[in-house]
Amino acid sequence: MPDQSLIDDLITANHILFRQGVVDAYGHVSARSPDDPEHFFLTWAVAPALARASDVLTFDLEGNTPDAAGRELYSERYIHAAVYKNRPDVMGVVHSHSPAIIPFTVCDVELQPIWHMSAFLADGVGLFDTQDVAGDTDLLIKNIELGEALAKTLGTGWVALLRGHGNVVAGRSVREAVYRAIYTEANAQLQEKALRMGTRVKYLTPGEAALMNAYMKPDVRRPWELWAHDADGR
Ligand code: MN
């Protein structure tokens, strides 16, 4: 039986990501079970803004669930399964098509931390291209093999871009994954603006990013309280 406060966080995470413009009808967020790390929680294929606790299903690290009961599943649940399988430190995962990052998936411009709020980007942003591993596809991560290849691209970082598609963002908690998904989108918007003003953009140094990352805590309390109040009134 999952911890109710984690399920509450997961549902709030769904609502926050919609309110903050990271997901629309598409995109999803999951939380790994702290008591049973070989399993994670994810809703069936509902639009995130409409998610309720009764929509949450338990999945294994191959992306299977015994709980579907005829309900449609997210075709890209393998993203979550593969990241959890490859990264024991990851407790929350967001997959989205957040719009400002899309140009960075198709142009030869690296997404880099433009401000301290996105210092986690300094740990590396991989670029995954389904074309490299499977040729022409519908670009969806629809099986565990594609998920594994994506997880390999994520490596030890927190963000990987999917060419012509979106991104995957990981955190040490579901709250941190939400924080990072929001600030990955914000960073992309600001970086694009800065690059229009000048080509010699000064990004955070690795040392600055490391100090900021040491300062940030996985519970991201202050923004989480604000976003949860805004999305759910709690
Ligand atoms: Mn997708």
Helix (H, G, I), strand (E, B) or coil at 112: coil
Sequence-distant (6+) residues with CB within 8 A of 225 are none
Q: What is the pLDDT of residue 19?
A: 98
Known catalytic residues are 76
pLDDT at 199: 82
pLDDT beyond 60 at 128: yes
Tell me, in angstroms, the distance from the centre of ligand 1 to residue 96's CA: 6
What percent of the chain has a predicted confidence (pLDDT) above 90? 97
Which CATH superfamily hosts domain 4-228?
Class II aldolase/adducin N-terminal domain (3.40.225.10)
Tell me how far the alpha carbon of residue 47 lies from the centroid of ligand 1, in angstroms.
Answer: 13
The residue ranges of every structural domain in the chain are 4-228
Six token digits for residue 24: 């629309």
Place of tokens 């670009």: 139
Q: How far apart are the CA of 209 and the centre of ligand 1, in A?
A: 29
Encode pLDDT of 11-53 as tens digits: 999 999 999 999 999 999 999 999 999 999 999 999 999 999 9
With the C-alpha atoms ordered 86, 43, 159, 138, is the resulting torsion angle positive or negative? positive
The Cα 90–Cα 92 span in angstroms is 6
